[in-house]
Amino acid sequence: MIVGPISRPSRQARVWVGELPERIEGKVLTATKACAEDANAPKDAIIAVEMKIDISPSYMYGLLGGVFHKEASGNFRTLIHVTENKEREFVDSLAHYSSDRVIWAFPQEYSDAVLQTIMRHKLAPCGTLEINCAACSEVGSNQVIFACLTQVLIAALLENLLPEQIAAIALESNTANARTVLGLQ
């Protein structure tokens, strides 16, 4: 199911649930932390979130998604596919009207933001999240947008959100909070 694109002043979001718009493969980074045993996460979830935030005169853009499998392991394990491959262009992205080029890739610098956000998040669902769907733009992407997207994905898993609720959270995501998580403020 695809919800969106949904727009609010200076923001756009699109959400995929039960499917991913594209899969990436690359070197896999792994991180593990204790989980919230009572987290009400679905047994299996496939979620991707795309966001574009206008910040005059530029914007921030990113897409992040993956597959979550609930497990009674006592841990939240994250597997992140990292790739610098710039061959596949995402022509239907929310940033397609800009002169910026959006590609299906996930560079190391953005995966670091995802890992840092996950490790600093107070709660995490028990299971494994494999992040194997990502798109970034050559100009509009940065660590802050991927920290925001990570926060949205974790909230969606912990709260077992419906697609429309995930989109609403994405549209309300707090870039200042993401900057703090990354130590940028």
pLDDT at 173 over 80: no
Structure tokens at 94: 């929310």
Considering its fold, how many domains does the chain have in total?
Answer: 1
Q: Can you give the pTM of this predicted structure?
A: 0.87
| Helices vs strands, H then E, count in the chain | 4, 8
DSSP at 89: B
The predicted model gives 153-178 an average pLDDT of 79
pLDDT at 182 over 50: no
* Nearest CA-CA partner of 74 in 26, 114, 106, 36: 36
In this structure, the number of other CB atoms found within 10 A of the CB of residue 91 comes to 8
The predicted model gives 4-19 an average pLDDT of 86
The predicted model gives 137-148 an average pLDDT of 89
Indicate the pairing of strand 127-137 with strand 58-70: antiparallel
pLDDT at 19 over 80: yes
Q: Could you identify the residue written with the tokens 């045993």? A: 37
Measure CA 61 to chain center.
Answer: 11
The predicted model gives 78-93 an average pLDDT of 88
The predicted model gives 56-71 an average pLDDT of 89
- From the number of C-beta atoms within 10 Å of its C-beta (0-12, 13-18, 19+), residue 162 rates as middle
Half-sphere CA count of 131, side-chain side, radius 13 A: 36
**What's the domain range around 68?**
2-181
